[in-house]
Structure 1
């Protein structure tokens, strides 16, 4: 009897420690992208990447700070609009999320980043305008290529591989499109390409006939478009209607998606080139696995930034684990020094929190889909 009683007392004493070891902490992660409107396809692509990362992390049963961690995403639709994006940022900051994966658009990210930074929340964004990391915000990290890399590499490829001599430039006046076009023009000029015209539209436009008619008279080898697929698709269709079939269309990651083919139809031929941050997924074992899992889960291919949103979450979780804390003020030091191999490439950050190395892949459309040509 004495032995049994002593054993029961010992078991009861161990219960609090056992309960503590099994305690689960819910860690909320914010997500900001356009889930409605013209860019909804890109936003839902991003959402799928984050969902896959969170499910994989939760299946691992991570223990951080002595607690089992369960990540939960708070998905917010910023509509690709700066004002809405700031509203989302204020909402997520008030919820005290432990990190933000997003936003997608540079025009949203620039004003929203101040809100997140002031709230002490770490943000991992794919938005590419160089100004984002030039603000000097300690909590802001870029987990994809910048405009200088995306626009610059497209210009280098245009000069050295396509041997173009003249290019007309159009941008949509968003922070993303304008920044991308400026970087393309700068590097293009430095490599012997003449910019014959600079024209502007907006990210709600559908008719580009006047701009294209003006460009047609200048007979450039190509048009570079700084903007997104919802305008890029119709623009290419109108190029065909005006007899500009043999003129190349170049762009960045904003048009590097199957949505171009859906919106541009048979006008989206091998005359369309684009760049996207990251290595060629189909050349990497992790990339092949990710693409197959994404297709199986969502019954659609991963598009431009699904892999980067996946990696962004994984990098943040790795920093939390290294710091043994989910609190941004604690794990930010580990994130700043991290070296992580993800699906889309290697992740380590420079002093501005840009990626130290960000390969850029050049794509050419075939059958309405972007097909990787080379990492450049």
Structure 2
């Protein structure tokens, strides 16, 4: 009996070890689950410096706004709360830098990336994301080659350059009654592909493409091409390239006394072109994705939320960057998973109302029912002159 009593006393002592003197031993509270709130990294890649730095920063802000709103609303997957974290990288609108940036974002374990700004940078980065199983949603790269690669995790929230080229050419020939055309492109996948599609459609509609020229995407010297074009006396010059070059081109056209209208590429809408071209901008045209901002169903609310959060100008493409981030977030919610494969599958089934209108993707990741607006510079201000809904007929 004494042995039993000593054993019971020893067990009691072990049970109360560490309890304050005079206190009754209490069961230990479970340790907090350090993984109760987890983090998902979303990347942004675009030009945050250089001539296109303004539009890049505006797009980054659009992504940041979407993630912040999702975090405030709350995101739960598998019984855990998740926070979305943005990792932004500057690709300088340079394809070689874009590939390096893509590798960096993959190493930082992003599950998805909103980017890149140009088609050249997007095409350079796409294989890196594809091999790593990372989702890529571009809010601005229009080259048809991008989605034609048929990567299952690639999407875009704007139309491709084939549809834009066909519509722009149709407007030039049918509405403006253009008969002779010269194209100039910047040799990039975006600019060259757009100019080729424009020329092809214009020819099919009865216009004559009397000259085709290419320049470096970094040049501000259009003299050689324009001096040749002046001999041909075209009704219209179509430029496939970025906004800052389009501004220089507009001034060069007037300086060399060419009596031709300029139609520029998507991405030209905004202040940079107007500031570079000055009064020579008047009469210039550009076909841009989406309806006019004041006709976008969610524009007023988006503009207010953007201005409350960021002390910087808002470019048109901030809307499409916001929608790109929203598509990723909606995909996460519908998939109920942080696995990019399952998220991408859910994104192919998405149907939601974005700021600019309905957002849904086809099997290649292209926008299903895009809309377009033709703008013209009048009194040094961009004004909408025509709207189009749906894809043009082949």
Aligned positions of 1:239-250 closer than 5 A: 239-244=253-258, 246-250=259-263
Give 1:44 shift. 1.6
Q: How does 1:117-266 map to 2 (within 5 A)?
A: 117-125=130-138, 126-244=140-258, 246-266=259-279
Kept after mapping to 1: 8 A contact 2:154/2:365: yes
Deviations 1:26-59 (A, max 9, x none): 2111111111122212212211211221222222
Secondary structure in 1 aligned to 2:298?
helix
Does residue 362 (structure 1) correspond to residue 383 (structure 2)? The answer is no
Q: TM-score, normalised by structure 2?
A: 0.87
Alpha-carbon distance between aligned partners in 1 of 2:358 and 2:132, rounded to the nearest angstrom = 28
| Residues in 2 aligned to 1:86 and 1:196: alpha-carbon distance in whole angstroms | 37
Q: Over residues 73-96 of structure 1, what are the superposed CA-to-partner deviations in whole Å (9 max), with x where a residue is unaligned?
A: 111011111111100111111111
Q: Find out whether 1:46 has 2:40 as its counterpart.
A: no
Measured after TM superposition, the shift of residue 69 of structure 1 is 2.2
- The CA distance in 2 between the partners of 1:354 and 1:326, in whole Å, is 23
Deviates more, 1:19-28 or 1:95-104: 19-28
Is the contact between residue 297 and residue 356 of structure 2 (CA under 8 Å) also seen in structure 1?
Answer: no
RMSD of Structure 2 on Structure 1 (CA): 2.1
Runs of 4+ displaced beyond 4 Å: 19-22
- The question of 1:352 aligning with 2:369 is answered no
The 8 Å contact of residues 29 and 72 in structure 1, kept in 2 or not, is answered as: yes
Are the aligned partners of 2:150 and 2:364 in contact in 1 as well (CA < 8 Å)? yes
Q: SS state of the match for residue 253, structure 1? A: coil
Give ranges in structure 1 of 5+ residues lacking alignment: 1-7
Following TM superposition, by how much is the alpha carbon of 1:299 offset from its aligned partner in structure 2, in angstroms? 4.5
- Structure 2 residue corresponding to 1:59, chosen from 51, 55, 72: 72
Which of residues 279, 283, 300 is equivalent to 2:295? 283
Distance 1:54 1:208, change over 3 A: same
User: Max radius of gyration: which structure?
Assistant: 2
1:150 and 1:252 in contact (8 A); partners too? no
- Using the TM superposition, name which of 80-89 and 274-283 deviates more: 274-283
Distance 2:76 2:97 in 1: 35
> Which ranges of structure 2 fall in alignment gaps of 5 or more residues?
1-25, 389-394
TM-score (norm 1): 0.91
